[in-house]
Amino acid sequence: MKNRSLLFLLALLHLSVTLQSQYNRDISIDSLLKMMNTEEKVGQMSQVDLGVVAVGDICNLKNPQALDIDKLKLAIAKYKVGSILNVGCGSGTIAMDNWRQIIDAIQNTNNQFSRLKIPVLYGIDAIHGANYTMGATLFPQEIGQAATWNPQLVEQANAISAYETRASAIPWNFSPVLDLGRQPLWSRFFETYGEDVFLAKTMAKSAVNGLQGSNTDNPYKVSACMKHFLGYSFPLSGKDRTPAWISDRELREYFVPTFQQAINAGAKTVMINSGDINGTPVHANYDILTGLLRHELGFTGVAVTDWEDIYKLVSVHHVATDKKEAVKMAIMAGIDMSMTPNDFQFNELLLELVNEGGVPLSRIDEAVTRILKLKKDLGLFNQPFYPLSMYPKFGSLEFSDVSYKAACESVTLLKNKDGLLPLENKEEKIFVCGPAANSLNLLNGAWTHTWQGVDATYNTKNKKTILESLISNYSKKGVSYSLGASLDSLGDMNVIISEAKSSDKIIICLGEKPCTEIPGNIDELELSDAQKQLVLALATLKKPIILVCCFNRPRIIHDIVEKVDAILYGYLPGDEGGRAIADCIVGKVNPSGRLPFTYPMASNAIVHYDHKASEDQDIDFSQNAYRPEFDFGFGLSYTQFQYSSFKFSDTILNNTDSIVLNFSITNSGSKNGMEVAQLYYKDMVASITPSVKKLTNFQKIALNPGETKELRFIMHKEDFSFIDKNLKRITEPGAIEIQLSNQKKVIYVR
């Protein structure tokens, strides 16, 4: 190809994307569909990776990425490809100007070589910010966002992600992950909003509202993509893309509500679970993809596969004899678009199936109608992307301040013996060590500049690690540092102990290798021996120790909890996480995060806070078996809060009525702080064994010292509903115990 690709690209760049035919701007979807031939329809249903149309081999692209126009013409002119994704297999972050050149050239090539000039839809995994665009704002991962217990802040973060993704000329974001985090072994646990249905579905609504708003035909909004329908996060083995065994009732009780909430909020696309449930791969499951998703939940948008998942019906699941049968199974089950992603076999096979009558044209028309509607809703027929001048806030201080706020509100104080924190005496000497102390990669995790997030060469410039942020507070003379231990290798402890002896306080920052999907599979939740030994060795000095944990999932720390004086849990707090954690340590910020999951005490002690009473039975026949390291919703503060003035408007709840609980919270301590009021309930008797308690509402508020605020929770009959044995959501009459802080009261549903 020599220099033809570059020359042709430069020639195209001066062309305006407004070359779109006028009839395409205003024509109805039905009229456009009638104009399309079968090849064009099948093309709309295919999505290929950037590597298919870029210079270089698919997983060894030129850096920076550049389009190969001959490859692009083949994809558009011959195969009529309707969607492209990703940064290219094995590639990393792309500069803003390069993104816009790529998207511009794709659309202009499409205008030149496609008959109907239907715009190409580009999609990207902008998981915690526009993480594949250089200089974008990176937020805490979803698990950290959930730990803020602040839906408004989560909506704001997602709105910024949408702004910066659209600034990159990309209108489709493969986010949010709405899988429930109830299997902590799972490598994508950090991508969830935690284990609780109510918390997760509240955050799901906020995320979709932030990404999409009320109108995606908007230069600052993108289409959200709900991931991964359904049950993906609960594999029995804990390994990614392995079988889940979930009853239909439990699917609807635990795993459907986040998706239903997002559908109600208007989410336009959904990505499908790569695994199987109860022996049937979801990509071949009509009952889930059409019966449940379409007919029961009312979803009308586009269903897209994950990476190469239709082919995996043959190679991994062995439910199809060949790829042609796999394509038929998936399309007839309800798939609208195939993330192929590295070839055009899907197009060829689906075209054969249509021509042979194996897949009716009516099913193709159904899928293509959804895809065209998505493109029209995004405004792509009128304006595929907008001038860069419309995005002056990209990577701005204003946006990084929101990221910093989210990181600060996510940090969770799990232990603070004798009020050790905050460290307000700046004359003291601090010794810092541990693998997460001086690493941005361990603060960000996977989906950061590269898929697995391990390449430090792409890190955002001028973002500080925990160590660098502590030095900013103390000066270099006040802070000494030694790695001490990597993630899995212990250093010379004699040297480390010698260096730590002269310090007044020790800060140990533990972490986990950035990873996701199959590369992130682990066999146990235990923290590595090297990191545990680092803590145990330094504990022999009898100096105050602050433990900072930045993990992808809750790693077992039981053996070291009693050896340290304070514990800050940072999750994966993003680019501003180092500054946020340091500011929490020195008292510039009062931690206000609360755990969005139950922190287990042992690898096999995975019991959720909303467990059944039978799970409380201990070996001595007492009811004390539930002993997590830290409970769901737990988190300490540098101040104290008191609840008072509880008043229920009634104790009887009828069909059309509500009960109002009024109460007050006072900051009785000496520091500003934020409290999360958490309302729980327990169904005293039910036809399906009830949980010992379940979250039904929450509110986060800020209080100055001595300040009191009055709050209220409104309870409706549906708040106490559950899925019965007939798979219907019902609320049964009877007694309900309400719990807020240390107060409990029984109300009655009639």
Residue whose token pair is 């009062």:
590
Collapsing DSSP to helix, strand or coil, 468 comes out as helix
How far apart CA 480 and CA 470 sit, in angstroms, is: 10
Q: Is 477 exposed, middle or buried (0-12, 13-18, 19+ CB in 10 A)?
A: exposed
**Which DSSP string do the residues of 518-568 spell out, in sequence order?**
GGG--S--BPPHHHHHHHHHHHTT---EEEEEE-SS--B-HHHHTT-SEEE
Cα 423 to Cα 183: distance, rounded to the nearest angstrom: 35
Q: Which residues contact 717 (CB under 8 A, 6 or more apart)?
A: 653, 654, 655, 657, 731, 749
282 close to 315: Cβ distance less than 8 angstroms: no
What separation in angstroms does the CA of 674 have from each of 206, 409, 548, 639?
20, 9, 21, 9
Q: Is 672 helix (H, G, I), strand (E, B) or coil?
A: coil
User: What b/e readout covers 603-618, taking b as 16+ CB neighbours within 10 angstroms?
Assistant: bebbbbbbeeeeeeee
Q: In 353-496, at which residue ranges do the beta strands (DSSP E only) sit?
A: 412-416, 430-433, 479-481
> Which residues touch 469 (CB under 8 Å, ≥6 apart)?
578, 579, 581, 582, 583
Whether residue 306 lies in the annotated active site: yes
Write out the two tokens for 5.
Answer: 């690709």
**746, containing H or E segment:** strand 743-749
SS3 270: strand
The helix (run of H) or strand (run of E) holding residue 508 is strand 505-511
Question: Which one from 125, 306, 575, 583 is the annotated catalytic residue?
Answer: 306
Please give the positions annotated as active site: 306
